[in-house]
Chains A and B, each alone.
Chain A
Amino acid sequence: MRKRALGWLGDAALILYFVFALFPIAWMVILSLKPADQLFSTYFSFSPTLDGYRTVLGDSEGIPFVRFFVNSLVVSVGAVALSLVVGLPAAYASARWRFKGSENLMFTLLSFRFAPELTVIIPLFVLYQKLGLFDTYVGMVWVLQLVTLPLIVWIMRSYFADLTPELEQAALLDGYTRKQAFFKVALPLVKPGIAAVSLLAFIFAWNNFVFPLILTSNEAQTVTVGALSFLGGDRPKYNLTAAAALVSVVPPLLLALTIQRYLVRGLSFGAVKS
């Protein structure tokens, strides 16, 4: 009897939390479906319309939302790709070779991640203006390395450290060079890790707000900043902002769903005796 009561109580608590967690999203959906003239007059009863989405995706109101969206894609994918190219060898090296100061080096890299972006944004703004990187893809991909690179290096480092070095040693004795041992043995074995960390890095890059806010103005502006432009003007258009925000959730969501199965670790079983 008591057990059942506790069960009910637990369920109720979970439902409460569920509502609490999902309500903002539900509210955004409702907001995005409201016609402009009913925005402030009603809460739940209104005549739903997709006009908001049409406006946002139709580039009307003078705001090129589709381009912001494409920018976000280019910049985030570019940042993750560059981080992988640089970060995977770095992660491997730091997992395998300890040298004097290697831990300090790794910690410095990590510190980029927990230093508030605002502390460096002003000097970066000045630098970017001078170097001609302001409002460019290259500039954005570059600055996003502060977000994606430490993440990729640190997570991949632990994946590489979990692999026994004897696998690559076996490859060396099989007649492969160190480079081949890395590409043919180590890299395929951390594929699930690469998938997981790429997704994570992509989401962080996609969601980044401060860098595009200060370092772009139009050409390379991303959705996070772009969605806010609907709030400007004589009247804030909350319905359009909501629609834009919801559209910008789609890529990370799709990506997460497609590579979900890679997120489960466990491919490397069988390498070592149990």
Chain B
Amino acid sequence: MIRLSGIRKAYGRTVALDGLELEIRDGEFFCLLGPSGAGKTTTLKTVAGLEQPDSGTVELDGEDMRGVEPYDRGVAMCFESYALYPHRSAYDNLASPLRSPRYRLPAAEARQRIGAIAELLGISALLDRPVGRLSNGQRQRVALGRVLVRPARAFLLDEPLSHLDAKLRQQMRAELKAIGAVQHTTTLYVTHDSVEALALGDRIGVIREGRIVQTGTREEIWYQPYDTEVARAFGRPRINLLPGVVTESGVAADGGVLLPVRARAAPGTDVLVGLRPRDITLHGEGHALTGTVYVTEVLGRSVEVTVRLGTGEQRVSLVAPRADAARLRPDDPVRLVVRPENLLLFEADRPERPGRRIETES
């Protein structure tokens, strides 16, 4: 269990962490998602004891970690920069924790462990090579191996798959969670890739400007995003956010479009209605909208269609199966179907903060 409460950390005038609260349960795979500069790495280093917070407490398994040296915290970390020892071979890098006074294993046992991990990560053939002669993707896997090779109270992984090529990344993403050590070790995984977070995280935390904006399961994050920023962060193509005004019968958007959302908000309030591109269909049951095709883009088996809604200039994108959308041409009239329960409602974005989600009644 990792618990961070009220963590503040500033570097000079730059505030990296601003009252960060985070709790990661025992054995959980927790993904921390945020843009660069949001404080992800600082959070990991604070847990590891490599950075001292200006205020706030770090607890591991209920123990306050104040004044506990990094080597006594029992956590393993994979650095985004790899931080491999350049003067040693890949094997010696992997062996480093197993030769340390704290995690020492007999040489034969260590060799076995390293062999198994190297096999798992597909780097068995590279073990004799000096680190300087490995590609970035290979170095990254060695760095990950150095973490997984030994038992730890928690794994701290800082974008551990970011430098792999697309195919390998997808494969490693699938394998990572299947690794036994990862399954029963609390893991804090940092990424800026929302697909990775959704695929891996038992729970996901969204960090922004040194604060946790929202934590939750992937369903919670997906269906009840805290605000428009969180909603925009997940899903490609991005969620459609249509500006509108609350009325008695729903939300009136630009171009004479009426969206059937019952808001707990006073009529006349400016809002944004969120529509996921995959929740809009070209036929079926639900609330119908009309529009004209603006542009289509084939994405393999499906097609991304951008539609001008109603009579206005407001555009929405949707993803439809190729069979449904193949014949659509720009300026063709189309009928779109949305289900009221899939609509999200947000306050209008303001300069000082993105619009928060508003509860809907359906």
Instruction: Say yes or no: A164 contacts B71, CB within 8 Å.
Output: no
- 8 A Cβ contacts from B83-122 to A: 83-87, 96-97, 100-103
Q: Which B residues are CB-close (under 8 A) to A270?
A: 84, 86, 130-134, 139
A172 touches B70 (CB 8 A): yes
Of A170, A172, A174, A272, the residue contacting B69 (CB under 8 A) is: A172
Using an 8 Å CB-CB cutoff, how does the interface string of A169-181 with B read, 1 for contact, 0 for none? Answer: 1111111111010
Q: Of B74-82, B264-272, B326-334, which stretch is located at the interface?
A: B74-82
Cα of A1 to Cα of B96 in the assembled complex, Å: 63
Minimum distance in angstroms from A173 CB to a CB of chain B:
5
> Is B132 a contact of A166 with CB atoms below 8 Å?
no
> Which parts of A140-182 form the interface with B (CB within 8 Å)?
164, 166-167, 169-178, 180
Instruction: Say yes or no: is A267 at the interface (Cβ < 8 Å to chain B).
Output: yes
Question: Which residues of chain B from 28 to 65 have any CB-CB distance to chain A below 8 Å in the complex?
Answer: 45, 48-50
Q: Report A222-260 residues with CB < 8 Å from chain B CB.
A: none
Query: A176: which of B48, B71, B76, B84 is its contact (CB, 8 Å)?
Result: B71
With A170-B79, A270-B131 given, is the CB distance from A189 to B86 under 8 Å?
Answer: yes
Number of A-B contacts (CB under 8 A): 90
Determine the residue in chain B with the shortest Cβ distance to A167. Answer: B83
Residues of chain B with a CB closer than 8 A to A180's CB: 100-101
A10 to B65, CA, bound (A): 68
Known contacts A169-B50, A170-B77, A270-B132, A175 near B83 by CB under 8 Å: no
Do B71 and A271 touch (CB < 8 A)? no
A274 to B134, CA, bound (A): 12
Across the interface, do B87 and A164 meet the contact criterion of CB distance under 8 Å? no
Residues of B within 8 A of A271 (CB): 82-86, 131
CB pair B96 A174 closer than 8 Å: yes
The answer, among A164, A177, A188, A274, for a CB contact under 8 Å with B83, is A164
Size bracket of the A interface: 20 to 34
Q: Are B86 and A267 in contact (CB under 8 A)?
A: yes
Given the known A-B contacts A172-B50, A174-B97, A273-B139, are A166 and B71 also in contact in the complex, defined by CB atoms under 8 Å?
Answer: no
Distance in angstroms from A97 CB to nearest chain B CB is 12
A contact residues around B102 at 8 Å (CB): 175-176
Distance from B30 Cβ to chain A, minimum over Cβ atoms (Å): 19
Q: Give Cα A185 to B133, complex, Å.
A: 19
A273 — which chain B residues lie within 8 A by C-beta?
A: 81-82, 136, 139, 163
Q: Is A269 an interface residue (CB 8 A)?
A: yes
**B203 near A: Cβ within 8 Å?**
no
Q: How far is the CA of A268 from the CA of B86 in the complex (A)?
A: 6
- Inter-chain contacts of A267 with B (CB < 8 A): 86-87
For the complex formed, measure the closest distance between the CB of A53 and the CB atoms of chain B, giving whole angstroms.
44
Least distance between A115 CB and chain B CB atoms (Å):
33
Q: A273-B136, A274-B136 are in contact. Are A172 and B71 (CB under 8 A)?
A: yes
A269 touches B132 (CB 8 A): yes
Residues of A within 8 A of B76 (CB): 173
Contact A176 B100 (CB under 8 A): yes
A174 to chain B, nearest CB (A): 4
Chain B residue with the shortest CB-CB distance to A267:
B87
**Which residue of chain A has its CB nearest to the CB of B51?**
A169
B9 at the interface (CB under 8 A from A): no
- Assuming the contacts A166-B79, A273-B163, asked whether A175 and B86 have C-beta atoms less than 8 A apart, the reply is no
Q: Is B146 engaged at the interface, CB distance under 8 Å to the other chain?
A: yes
Interface of chain B residues 248 through 273 with chain A (CB within 8 A): none
Say which residue of B79, B82, B86 sits within 8 Å of A269 (CB atoms).
B86
What residues of B have a CB within 8 angstroms of the CB of A178 in the complex? 69
Once the chains are docked, how many angstroms separate the CA of A176 from the CA of B103?
A: 9
**Which B residues are CB-close (under 8 A) to A174?**
71, 96-97, 100, 103, 146
> Whole-angstrom distance between the alpha carbons of A125 and B97 in the complex?
54
Please state if B81 and A177 are interface contacts (CB–CB under 8 Å): no
Q: Judging by beta carbons under 8 Å apart, are A175 and B84 in contact?
A: no
Closest beta carbon of chain B to A218's beta carbon, Å: 47
Give chain A residues whose Cβ lies under 8 Å from the Cβ of B131: 270-271
Q: Are A185 and B71 in contact (CB under 8 A)?
A: no
Chain A residues contacting B101 (CB-CB under 8 Å) are 175-177, 180
**A175 pairs with B136, CB closer than 8 A:** no
In Å, the complex CA distance between A175 and B95 comes to 12
List chain A residues, Cβ under 8 A from B139. Answer: 270, 273
User: From B133, which residue of chain A is reached at the shortest CB distance?
Assistant: A270
* In contact, A188 and B87 (Cβ under 8 angstroms): yes
CB pair B81 A164 closer than 8 Å: yes
Of the listed residues A172, A175, A177, A269, the one surrounded by the most CB atoms of chain B closer than 10 A to its CB is A175
Cβ B83 vs Cβ A170 within 8 A: yes
Question: Separation in Å of the B161 CB from the closest CB of chain A?
Answer: 13
Give chain A nearest CB distance to B200 CB in angstroms: 22
Q: What is the distance, in angstroms, from A231's C-beta to the closest C-beta of chain B?
A: 50
Which residues of chain A are near B81, meaning CB under 8 Å?
A: 164, 166, 272-273
Residues of A within 8 A of B163 (CB): 273
Could you show 27 A-B contacts with beta carbons less than 8 Å apart? A170-B146, A172-B49, A172-B50, A172-B69, A173-B48, A173-B76, A173-B77, A174-B96, A174-B146, A175-B71, A175-B103, A176-B71, A176-B101, A178-B69, A180-B100, A180-B101, A188-B87, A189-B86, A189-B87, A270-B86, A270-B134, A271-B82, A271-B83, A271-B85, A271-B86, A273-B81, A273-B163
Residues of B at the A interface (CB closer than 8 Å) are 45, 48-50, 69-71, 75-77, 79, 81-87, 96-97, 100-103, 130-134, 136, 139, 146, 150, 163
Q: Lowest 8 A-B CB distances belong to which pairs?
A: A270-B132, A175-B102, A175-B100, A271-B86, A166-B83, A170-B83, A172-B70, A270-B86
- Given contact pairs A164-B83, A170-B85, A269-B86, enumerate 12 new A-B contacts (beta carbons under 8 Å): A166-B79, A166-B83, A174-B71, A174-B97, A175-B97, A175-B100, A175-B150, A176-B101, A177-B69, A180-B100, A268-B86, A271-B82
